[in-house]
Chain A
Amino acid sequence: MTGIPLVALVGNPNAGKSALFNALTGARQKIGNYPGVTVERHAGRLALADGRPVELIDLPGAYSLDPSSPDEEVTRDVVTGAQQGERLPDALVVVIDAANLENHLRFTLQLIALGLPIVVALNMVDLATRDGLELDPDTLARELGVPVVPTVAVRRRGIEELKEAIDGSVTGANIRAIDPGRGDGDEYDTLLNTERARTIARRTIVSETPSRRLNQRIDSVALHPLFGPLLLAGLLFVMFQAVFAWSEAPVGWIEAGQGWLTATADNLLPEGYFRSFIIDGVINGVGSVVVFLPQILILFFFILLLEATGYMTRAAFLMDRLMARFGLSGASFIPLLSSFACAIPGIMATRTIADPKDRLTTILIAPLMTCSARLPVYAIIIAAFIPNSSVGPGIGLQGLVLFGLYISGIVGAMIAALVLRRTVAKGAAASFIMEMPKYQLPLLRDLALGLWQRAWIFLKRAGTIIFVTTIVLWGLLSFPQAPEDSPLSQTEYSIAGRVADGLHVVMAPIGFNEEISLALIPAMAAREVAVSALATTYSIDESDEEQAEQSLTQQLQGQWSLPTALAFLAWFVFAPQCLSTIAVTRRETNSWRWPAFMLAYLFALAYLAAGITYWTAVGFGL
């Protein structure tokens, strides 16, 4: 990596940094983590006009060099050369929103004072013009003493010029004019910077006409006391509806592909351990998880879209008051909504919450949002046990049960928040101050890139954690082989069966059978593994061909009682069955205390909920 110049993109939140990063690097990006913290490190290569490469990193958005969040801390540490695992950049590209000059210039002045070569990207000049603002980039360049390039990142405008300016700053061709307007005083002095930022902004603005109120017109609907919440509820409804409706076809293709692979392997391979390993372990194990990729992507598509258009902060605004009742703020709404896709990005998104107690509470309740990994579990149980009947026009009983499970998670989370805020996360009431960016039509290519990155992370997970656990489970289930005359089934005879025996003692009071106890062990790796584990367990026990033809749904119907199935659903609403979530909590809270607490309280809730469900159902004679 040495020898290639390193350039960092810095700027206020909502300056369009990420779009600019995409425009400069294209799809050649690498997402990693900074050591010790979960702040994502986005790096990419950009090629200068003559083909020389430059390594570009996209730093988290910040308002100043005086950090209020772990994100801003990384930004400060990188630009001052204090970040572990990152060398001091050779140059900075400061991204500022043309329509927000005065505010963004304050941070720019702080950055210039650091003394690194700097190029300013005057971004979103088109929106500024739409807003009735005419700017003179040359004046700004003169005032700041650094090159200024007007850009429109989402439309890929000004990118070549920006590359040229970057070339100049990394080769040292840009001689920095010493700014006579600034003495040796404290460069971090906010007041002084504010004053200077205001003056420079005034000089740069050529003309200013009252804004064309497109933004305000949208907001007058989106934030309307009546239509606003209706619109939000409608959007959420469409989003969850789409997760099921749009995924039907692609799920069918994946299942067809899986069926074809199974049939092919069945024909090609000789009967024996190896065939059982390939079909039961690899194809069915991994396939039962990959089949949920379409739903996860649809959910992420909506979340990325809501974020990129600028609507997400409006949702936070509308929800703030409601969240305040439970001791949280609208800022928690965004991470919690993301947690419906997956708690991991959700927990990582809590970094924008300034208050530490507020943030801790949000992290602790994030796993209660029904993440997409629970869908496979819910879907299979509902399909097997809840009749596909109608309870009203357009409302199916199966859909209603699924809706109920989502609601149980949300209600559980709200009650948990209320209790946590009065006990372990006691502190001042949460606050809410949030910038609401201008609405923007996102570029499809940027959305597709974000979606591709999510898909890749999921497939990597399926290919590694899920693959390995499925295989280990297959091994534990297949050995030692039960002798022909054994009264026990293969599962009961195997190593896994004997471990599950012990666990079953604890789980039996809440109605869980041996197979469930068994499936819960590998499901610690990831919830969706519960499905593949059940599939593997039942498929290994198949002695005769006829039974093997049965689907997992039919197997479950034959072997589980209704109260057991309902208890199993209730368990998964609360159970913290995902090691990645625990790991991310450990990193985000920087101690083992909170992940341990999270495990304990969620398992206790899950056990209670499953127990109550089971015995209530039994009591009603179900």
Chain B
Amino acid sequence: MFSIVHKRQLSESVFEMGVEAPQIARKARAGQFLMLRVAEGGERIPLTFSDWSADEGWIRFIFMRVGKTTHMLSHMEPGEVLADVVGPLGTPTHVEGLGRVAVVGGGVGTAVAYPVARAMVEAGNEVTVIVGARTKDLLILIDEFEALPLKELIVVTDDGSAGEKGLVTAPLARLADAGAIDHAMAIGPAIMMKFCAQTTKERGVPCTVSLNPIMVDGTGMCGACRVTVGGETKFGCVDGPDFDGHLVDFEELMSRQRVYADMEREADVEYSKECRCHL
């Protein structure tokens, strides 16, 4: 159960991993996520599917090494087994009848933008993808996007080392101003989604965002993932993860994402020490 069947390092701290999970692979849809536990005693973390194959019975996800759990995960190799994988969870991304869409993927969120863009293309929409990263080495899945029949693929880096120099909001604004898009979908760090939502709101273009709040169970049981959308409290795990970006309280989301920042650092520092001991 849950054997690792694939692993690829995409950048210094970003990894793609494939896991044998035939039943989940059968059901996965773009925008949905899984919960995993690396080992006994481990944390449950949510990760959004980056790809899956119902025929071959595997699912894939992409993660950035940021804390102890993702650190441990990055040390796992094909043939090893994850303790738990649960899914598919959350409401799939709405992909039908959107028309001309801009899908924006930032940083590791690009991993989620890929299956979303693919599903939108398959549903008959005209899709432009904007991929952003701090620098060239952190860009991921460019080949995969290039293989999709997109209207256009726009690459943006903060430092200009690849594609346009600047932020993803610049090409997004350009497309919106030109009247070239009917809908936008932004997936990435909360701050990026916030500015994408702002950019589109000012230009009257609807914008869906895929949120990544902290979760424990991922099935609606704990309420750790609550977000304020249009003044109402919603659960990211079951009501989302997709919401109307124009209505999301991003400041609250970002604040809530930081609840355990200090404790997580402490755990990761401890783990890193252990790792060095074992070397």
Do A and B originate from a single complex? no
Q: Contact residues of A with B, CB < 8 Å?
A: none
